[in-house]
């Protein structure tokens, strides 16, 4: 369905009630890569690679932040959804919204009390291609300390469903032995090279060198049930944050260490008993072990620390090791965004700890399953490819932003069973731009030059494109006014939009502070003088609208949530 295009130069603007006096500040930092989101608190990362993108899932700290009225401590009790981001360049991240676990698990049984749903923390994700060519994605999460639940989908962004009517792992699971000794939480899943699924879990054991609270269990072919009894992993100083990888045929188990006192004699005895020569871990560090026989507790070899205490104001640690392309990345959480907001007086000084997901490069020797210690920093990682400005880009794709809000952080529709999209997608992905709000993307490669620009937007206002920094001179302007989403095309100076540039989309005027930013795209041709897009080669072709499950929407008027629009039906 082709939409009528409105020329900005021909628009008669309505009276603008709000004029931008100042541009919103940048709390993430102009050149920093960390955290991956400049406006969403999220934690406990896990990830997968799919179709040239890495998808990152995490605990939705922002849901607790909003429930707290943007103040107070993070009690985690109101975290009932999981955030989803993705990228193909490691710097520009697309926010796909949240998975509403509360809604999806509403049908779980509640007796006994420890098998029902309460919260969703610390997800772990994996996927596989079945023999018939179809793909399945499995997302595991912990329900506080009570156990592990699982969701299932046919794409990395859903729609998700709950295949079970209760927690997959709970106090009754053979070998779990949770009551009194450990918690059945923080799952870490992997599918090995033979197609067999495995999951680790457990934590909060005694504060000693050997809490014996870590567990691993095989999964049935369905990936939604355990197969047999869980066994212990004798992980020294184990506390929580279990994750699992398979590297060159061997299992690599990672976890966060506890706060037990470190005794040299005790550690030397452990080293001698296990024939290793590794320093003892510090508190709250990310440790790893390796095994080629995961169900044999004595096969696991402690290899050392690969991630330090994150600092940045956090009092816990959680990481995931993800291979993307030919490189490994260390995903973890810290609190740099929260600390900056407190320093600037944007939130109460007693607010915390609300965490943010960060990423740094990791060095892994696949032959020896050795992970070199990672040094976390705010710089993050180097962008691995340029962004293509000639493809339709969602407004939710950004390297940083300021003043950006979403329609509904809580992701809960009162008295509602389903969302407006008819699946479990959140409604919070209309990007709301007040006067002075902005988003940015890095390293957009224009080549020899762009001649026109398309803005998809709803509301009345003005958007300026600036190059290099948010306070730079205006390179192009789009004025708009519509009560529904419309496409506006303007001619741009091709001498300004050449080669590789960092872009800022600054909304300098916004009527009633209620402009909704949906998407943008540049073109190599001058399309500003036509009434309707005739699909030249550089224009969007066969543009359709799709929900988070990839299903085509016949009518998007008034739809809430993210709408993925591109000609190739590629999930981003």
Catalytic residues: 44, 240
Structure tokens at 76: 């985690």
Rounded CA separation 360/348 (Å): 29
* Contacts for 562 with CB less than 8 Å, ≥ 6 apart: 96, 97, 394, 396, 425, 429, 547, 548
Other CB atoms within a 10 A radius of the CB of residue 499 amount to 11
Rounded CA separation 392/455 (Å): 10
DSSP H helix total and E strand total for the chain: 4, 29
HEC readout, 110-174 = CCCHHHCCCCCEEEEEEEEECCCCCEEEEEEEECCCCCEEEEEECCCCCCCECCCCCCCECCCCC
Q: DSSP letters along 334-362, please?
A: E-HHHHHHHHTTSS-TT-B---EEEEEEE
H or E segment and range at residue 238: strand 238-247
**φ, ψ for residue 337, nearest 5 deg:** -70, -45
Q: Which of 483, 493, 487, 424 shows the shortest CA–CA distance to 458?
A: 483
**3 state DSSP class of 540:** coil
52, with CB counted inside 10 A (0-12, 13-18, 19+), is exposed
* Contacts for 387 with CB less than 8 Å, ≥ 6 apart: 89, 92, 393, 441, 442, 443, 444, 445
Maximum pairwise Cα distance, the chain: 80
Other CB atoms within a 10 A radius of the CB of residue 53 amount to 18
Other CB atoms within a 10 A radius of the CB of residue 534 amount to 9
Residue 37 in contact with residue 85, Cβ under 8 Å? yes
Query: In the chain, what is the straight-line distance between the N-terminal and C-terminal CA atoms, in Å?
Result: 21
150, with CB counted inside 10 A (0-12, 13-18, 19+), is buried
Other CB atoms within a 10 A radius of the CB of residue 304 amount to 18
Sign of CA dihedral 533, 535, 539, 545: positive
Structure tokens at 411: 């992701």
**φ, ψ for residue 64, nearest 5 deg:** -70, -40
Rounded CA separation 449/471 (Å): 22
Cis peptide before 23 (omega within 30 of 0): no
**Residue whose pair of structure tokens reads 């070998």 in the numeric block:** 175
Q: Which of 257, 131, 134, 252 shows the shortest CA–CA distance to 190?
A: 252
């Amino acid at each position: 369905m082709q939409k009528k295009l409105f020329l900005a130069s021909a628009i008669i603007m309505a009276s603008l009630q709000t004029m931008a006096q100042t541009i919103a500040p940048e709390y993430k930092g102009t050149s920093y890569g960390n955290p991956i989101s400049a406006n969403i608190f999220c934690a406990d990362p896990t990830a997968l690679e799919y179709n040239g993108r890495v998808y990152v899932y995490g605990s939705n700290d922002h849901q607790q932040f909003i429930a707290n009225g943007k103040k107070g401590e993070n009690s985690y009790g109101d975290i009932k959804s999981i955030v989803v981001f993705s990228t193909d360049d490691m710097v520009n991240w697309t926010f796909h919204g949240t998975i509403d676990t509360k809604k999806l698990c509403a049908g779980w049984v509640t007796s006994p009390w420890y098998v029902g749903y309460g919260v969703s923390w610390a997800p772990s994700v994996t996927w596989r291609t079945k023999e018939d060519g179809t793909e399945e994605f499995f997302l595991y999460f912990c329900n506080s300390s009570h156990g592990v639940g699982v969701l299932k989908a046919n794409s990395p962004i859903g729609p998700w469903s709950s295949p079970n009517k209760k927690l997959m792992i709970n106090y009754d699971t053979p070998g779990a032995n949770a009551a009194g000794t450990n918690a059945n939480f923080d799952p870490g899943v992997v599918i090995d090279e033979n197609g067999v699924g495995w999951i680790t879990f457990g934590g909060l054991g005694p504060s000693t060198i050997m809490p014996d609270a870590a567990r691993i269990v095989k999964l049935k072919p369905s990936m939604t049930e355990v197969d047999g009894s869980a066994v212990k992993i004798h992980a020294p100083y184990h506390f929580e944050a279990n994750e699992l990888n398979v590297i060159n045929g061997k299992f690599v188990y990672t976890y966060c260490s506890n706060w037990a006192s470190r005794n040299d004699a005790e550690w030397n005895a452990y080293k001698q008993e296990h024939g290793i020569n590794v320093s003892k871990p510090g508190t709250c560090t990310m440790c790893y072990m390796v095994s080629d026989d995961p169900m044999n507790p004595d096969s696991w070899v402690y290899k050392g620390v690969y991630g330090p205490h994150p600092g940045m104001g956090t009092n816990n640690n959680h990481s995931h090791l993800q291979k993307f392309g030919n490189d490994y990345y260390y995903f973890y959480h810290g609190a740099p965004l929260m600390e900056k907001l407190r320093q600037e007086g944007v939130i109460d000084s007693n607010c915390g700890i609300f965490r943010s997901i960060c990423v740094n490069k990791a060095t892994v020797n696949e032959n020896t399953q050795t992970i070199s210690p990672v040094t976390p920093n705010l710089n993050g990682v180097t962008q691995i490819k340029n962004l293509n400005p000639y493809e339709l880009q969602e407004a939710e794709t950004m390297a940083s932003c300021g003043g950006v809000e979403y329609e509904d952080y809580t992701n809960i529709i009162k008295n509602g069973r389903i969302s407006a999209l008819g699946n479990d997608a959140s409604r919070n992905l209309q990007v709301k731009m007040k006067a002075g709000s902005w988003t940015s993307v890095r390293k957009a490669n224009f080549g020899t030059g762009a001649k026109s620009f398309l803005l998809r937007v709803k509301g009345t206002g003005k958007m300026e494109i600036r190059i290099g920094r948010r306070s730079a001179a205006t390179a192009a302007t789009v004025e708009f006014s519509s009560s529904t989403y419309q496409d506006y095309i303007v001619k741009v100076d091709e001498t300004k939009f050449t080669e590789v540039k960092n872009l800022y989309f600054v909304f300098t005027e916004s009527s009633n502070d209620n402009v909704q930013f949906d998407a943008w795209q540049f073109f190599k041709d001058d399309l500003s003088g036509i009434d309707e897009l005739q699909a030249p080669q550089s224009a969007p072709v066969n543009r359709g609208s799709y929900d988070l499950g990839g299903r085509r929407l016949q009518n998007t008027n008034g739809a809430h949530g993210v709408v993925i629009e591109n000609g190739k039906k590629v999930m981003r």
